[in-house]
Amino acid sequence: MELLLAAVHRVAFWILLAFFASAVIRLILMLDINKRVYNHTPGPCRIVFDEDGKDVDGSAGIHFVRGRNLALITYGYANAFENGSVPSGLASFEFKKGEEQTHHRLKKLDISWNEHVPKHFAPLGLTAFENNGRVLTYVVNSHPKAQCVHFFTLVKSSLQHRKALCDSRFTSLRDIAAVDADRFFVTNLGYFSQGHLQTVELALQSSLGLIYFYDGRNFSVAVSNFPTPSALAIDEKKRLLYVSSLLNEFVRVYEIGRDNTLKQKVDISLLASPVGLHVDYATGDLWAACHPVLLQAFIHQMNPSDKAMKSPSQVLRVRIQEDGISWVVTEPYANDGATISGSNAVTFAADQMLVGSLFERLLHCDILNPQIT
Amino acid sequence: MLWQVVGLVVVAIAVNFYVNTLFFLDYNKRVFNHRPGPCRRIEGIENGSEDIEFVESKKLAFITSGLVYFPNPHAKYDGKIFLYDFKQGDGKYQAKDLKFVGMENEDFHPHGLSHFILKDGTIRLFVTSHSKQFKHSVYLFDFDESKQQLKLVQIIRDEKFVRPNDIAAFRGRIVPSHYQCGSVVKYDGKKVEVVAAPEASNGIIFSRDFKKFFVSHINHRTVAIYDWDQKKKTLILQTKVPLLTAIDNFYIDKNNVLWIGSHPILKDAVAHLDAPDDLKFKAPSQVLRIQFSSDFKSHDITEVFVDDGNFIAASSVAVEHNNQLLIGSVGRQLVHCDIAHPAVANSKL
């Protein structure tokens, strides 16, 4: 009996050791220690300043409102990480042509709050749905103490707050995508809320992420056990939902059924950690903002106010072929962090590109050769 | 208990070796295509364009082709040197296959390339070459511009030429680099001496003023910058720039900007180079541009071109002139690109 127990202990020891070694290897590969990016741009670029000529306090979420030819940008995501507070809210950027564009500024939007101004507002992902001339805007608040989805209506140059929906099941909301008025998908990155437990969960590369669907009244689980879902984007024409995996570094394509159920189609492997997605309405191209070196992104995210903690930025474009199951990936933009640090969002319109970062600048680029860049 | 400790140590060593091997071969990397502007392949070059030597005073580029990278007795292609004239009119992109004089019985497969202009204005080319049996030589040619041919001047062989890779000419003397048991040696017409520390060396080039010497240490993914003592003909290491990509050959433009052809994913490059004729194997291509500060203590890196191998496989060299980019590959295509805007090739934002 004692011999049997000793044998079981020995076998268990080696099995645990094998699991531990495997976890260590996967963790080291995940951190991208041997990767870097080399700077390049698709054309002339410039920083977008606010109306006072200053850098914005982050531009972590961008959504292009096609009917208005403008982009909505969230700022102030750093509130989710530190006790101090930075100004947070939404801003708009109007796409123009020619010389007029190079000096264009970001306009911060006034918000008429439905009740009181929320104490913890760290906006991250956002989406908008254009409905009968109204722009219904949905914003994810990623603050660990106030995980909510906020409903706004864009009225001229200001936002009317409609309501906030919070749920105890929300632990790490990231991004949101609307399929109809008050119908949207939202991603929950992992089981644990932001903190040490989440770090351990992510280090072990668990698959406890969820995608919720809101049907106008209730949140239900649309996809369970998704590995670290980070960003969402919807192809309106083809009724496709794109969901990116932060740590497994792919984009999964779902078909949206008539009742808004999701049918999995294909995975697009990127080998870069996608954090922001955009679908170009005209071409159907998928644009992804990525963290090319995950370790630096993690360190940068843990120190939002330290300007020396730079993280590389990367924008990829996936051109899906007619068959829907093959694609070409190009890299329109990459930067080592000196210009824009920790790219988190991207949008493309009128041969121009906006790249948003977690806590800092917003970048605007002309794309000289859209077919090849 | 002792066995458990030993087991832990063995597992730790195994994990470390495994991870290091994965990193060395770039298993977790991929490339994403981008170009500085419209590109096209140069017709007629299919078996490599491993090194390009640009003669700025005449706007001519010499291109080596038909490299034998490993002993390859059955190689079906000939070694050639092509000429690309940057003065060609708009829309023309042709490379001329140069004739040789005095090379009747040579088993010639050129690799690295360098040039020197003689006092009478003749362009003298210095070429490292490997035979199909993998014997190594340095060939000296004079370029006859009127007849558009290369005349053999001299063949240099030495036991210290252990698998020479690239070559750099300094006032008529040559400094070939070596890949295997890597080193840099100098040859002054009489004897061969080792001038750089043992480390696998690939591309080498002098700065325009011949004060600096650049060496690519491919296994460590670094560019080493040496001071070149012009009197003693010795190298003194000044700095190393880690690039995290397998650096191949160099070009230095008139602003002392370094242009590099490199292999971003080594496992694909190794598989491709083992069988360059086999179109099933492709390797990514990458062109980097490094601009140094005047004291070489800081630098800006721009990635000008990347391809996954479908358009050009395993780039080894890049030459820029007048917003045109000529990209050579180890065993396949030669590509010409337009640089559509200065911002594209010199990123500050």
How much is the ipTM here?
Answer: 0.81
Q: What is the 3-state secondary structure (H, E, C) of chain B?
A: CHHHHHHHHHHHHHHHHHHHHHHHCCCCCCCCEECCCCEEECCCCCCCCCCEEEECCCCEEEEEECCCCCCCCCCCCCCEEEEEECCCCCCCCCEEECEEECCCCCCCCEEEEEEEECCCCCEEEEEEEECCCCCEEEEEEEEECCCCEEEEEEEECCCCCCCECCCCEECCEECCEECCCCEEEEECCCCEEEEECCCCCCCEEECCCCCEEEEEEHHHCEEEEEEEECCCCEEEEEEEEECCCEEEEEEECCCCCEEEEEECCHHHHHHHHHCCCCCCCCCCEEEEEEEECCCCCCEEEEEEEEECCCCCCCEEEEEEECCEEEEEECCCCEEEEECCCHHHHCCCC
Question: Quick one: pLDDT band at residue B193, thresholds 50, 70, 90?
Answer: low
- A368 CA to chain B: closest CA distance, Å? 7
Question: Quick one: pLDDT band at residue B233, thresholds 50, 70, 90?
Answer: low
pLDDT digits (tens, 9 = 90+) for B201-221: 678 787 877 778 888 877 778
Percentage of residues in chain B having pLDDT higher than 70: 81
pLDDT digits (tens, 9 = 90+) for A214-268: 888 788 888 778 888 888 898 877 778 899 988 888 888 888 886 788 878 788 8
Tell me the chain A residues in contact with residue B28 when contact means C-beta distances shorter than 8 Å: 29, 32, 34-35, 271
More confident residue, B191 or A361: A361
Dist CA B336 CA B40 (whole Å): 6
Inspect the interface and report whether the beta carbons of A38 and B38 lie closer than 8 Å.
no
Beta bridge partners of A220: A213
Residue B11 lies in a domain: no
Average pLDDT, integer, range B281-309: 86
Residue B344 lies in a domain: no
Inspect the interface and report whether the beta carbons of A368 and B288 lie closer than 8 Å.
no
Inspect the interface and report whether the beta carbons of B34 and A363 lie closer than 8 Å.
no
Average pLDDT, integer, range B139-151: 84
Nearest residue of A to residue B347, measured between CA atoms? A40
Inspect the interface and report whether the beta carbons of B343 and A372 lie closer than 8 Å.
no
pLDDT the model gives residue B163? 55
Residue B141 lies in a domain: yes
pLDDT digits (tens, 9 = 90+) for B169-186: 654 445 555 443 345 666
Residue B13 lies in a domain: no
pLDDT the model gives residue B338? 86
Inspect the interface and report whether the beta carbons of B349 and A363 lie closer than 8 Å.
yes
Average pLDDT, integer, range B37-49: 83
Task: Determine the structural domain holding residue B265 and report its residue range.
Answer: 38-338
Segments of chain A scoring below 70 in pLDDT: 10, 82-84, 97-105, 115-116, 119, 156, 258, 322, 371-373
More confident residue, A1 or B111: B111
pLDDT the model gives residue B179? 40
- B252 CA to chain A: closest CA distance, Å? 19
Tell me the chain B residues in contact with residue A334 when contact means C-beta distances shorter than 8 Å: 303
Mean pLDDT of all residues in chain B? 78
Residue B349 lies in a domain: no
- B179 CA to chain A: closest CA distance, Å? 23
Residue B300 lies in a domain: yes
Tell me the chain A residues in contact with residue B39 when contact means C-beta distances shorter than 8 Å: 372
pLDDT the model gives residue B171? 43
- A67 CA to chain B: closest CA distance, Å? 29
Inspect the interface and report whether the beta carbons of A368 and B344 lie closer than 8 Å.
yes
Dist CA B288 CA B317 (whole Å): 10
More confident residue, B88 or A102: B88
- Selected for mutation to probe chain A from B34, B257, B341 (highest A CB count within 10 Å) is B34
In this structure, what CATH number is given to the domain that contains residue B327?
Answer: 2.120.10.30
Inspect the interface and report whether the beta carbons of A40 and B29 lie closer than 8 Å.
no
Inspect the interface and report whether the beta carbons of B340 and A28 lie closer than 8 Å.
no
- Selected for mutation to probe chain B from A19, A20, A25, A38 (highest B CB count within 10 Å) is A38
Average pLDDT, integer, range B25-35: 80
Does the pLDDT of residue B330 top 50, yes or no?
yes
A32-366 CATH fold: Neuraminidase (2.120.10)
Residue B18 lies in a domain: no
Q: How many domains does chain B have?
A: 1
pLDDT the model gives residue B287? 92
More confident residue, A320 or B193: A320
Residue B227 lies in a domain: yes
